[in-house]
């Protein structure tokens, strides 16, 4: 079990919080956890049972995957932080520390990529409406599975490079990857560019393009 005196790295990352600070953070984590689970459960229920979202099949399926990604992020990232704040230590052991950190990383990246894919899907639906009608649910499943597999590249790379570099950070009450291996000096920026910068740039560009298409169609923003 990881404790405050378990290693020198933990001591470097240790920053004791007052009870007031911990109670505030506990309340915040509870709020985030409840809103996340409730909001995304409503989205899944409205799309699966009631089919309340009227978009093309691929976009709806991507919305479902985004909701699932958010729920899993709450389970693997917010929930461990909440428990750690309550116990004032990491209670789950070393193996689960690396597992929660890896799965939280996967869910965060998948959420970014899924949002990016949904923006592109909406833009294509407006530009090529007849083609979007012909897109099947199978296409959406293929896109979603590809995104999940691509998202797994980052955490799997961390484990392969140095599986011993996961530690519990007492400043954030989260399990983290230290990225101390020499190869991470260039691998980390590459992963950030691929999984964060490019998707966000695509979201920005597609948003501008969507506004432009709507303006041309309606004569106003």
pLDDT digits (tens, 9 = 90+) for 47-85: 887 777 777 888 889 999 999 999 999 999 999 999 999
Tell me, what's the pLDDT at 215?
82
Tell me, what's the pLDDT at 181?
85
pTM for the complete prediction? 0.85
Q: Decide if 164 contacts 194 (C-beta within 8 A).
A: no
Give Dmax (Cα) for the chain: 65
Tell me, what's the pLDDT at 162?
85
Q: Which fold has domain 8-212?
A: Rhopdopsin 7-helix transmembrane proteins (1.20.1070)
Q: Decide if 2 contacts 168 (C-beta within 8 A).
A: yes
Q: Decide if 116 contacts 199 (C-beta within 8 A).
A: yes
Residue-range domain boundaries for the chain: 8-212
The 10s digit of each residue's pLDDT in 137-168 is: 888 899 999 999 999 999 999 999 888 889 99
Residues paired with residue 195 on neighbouring β-strands, in sequence order: none
């Amino acid at each position: 079990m990881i404790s405050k005196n378990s290693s020198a790295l933990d001591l470097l990352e240790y920053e004791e919080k007052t009870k007031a600070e911990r109670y505030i953070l506990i309340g915040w984590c509870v709020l985030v956890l409840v809103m996340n689970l409730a909001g995304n459960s409503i989205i899944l229920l409205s799309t699966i049972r009631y089919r309340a979202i009227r978009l093309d099949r691929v976009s709806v399926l991507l919305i479902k995957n985004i909701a699932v990604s958010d729920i899993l992020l709450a389970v693997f990232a917010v929930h461990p932080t909440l428990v750690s704040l309550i116990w004032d230590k990491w209670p789950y052991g070393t193996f689960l520390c690396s597992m929660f950190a890896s799965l939280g990383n996967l869910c965060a990246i998948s959420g970014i990529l899924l949002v990016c894919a949904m923006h592109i899907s909406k833009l294509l639906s407006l530009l090529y409406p007849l083609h979007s009608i012909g897109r099947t649910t199978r296409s959406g499943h293929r896109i979603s599975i590809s995104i999940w597999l691509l998202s797994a590249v980052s955490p799997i790379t961390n484990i392969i490079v140095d599986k011993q570099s996961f530690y519990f950070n007492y400043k954030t009450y989260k399990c983290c990857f230290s990225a101390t291996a020499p190869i991470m000096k260039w691998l980390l920026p590459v992963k950030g560019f691929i999984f964060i910068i490019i998707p966000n740039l695509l979201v920005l560009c597609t948003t501008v393009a969507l506004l432009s298409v709507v303006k041309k169609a309606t004569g106003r923003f």
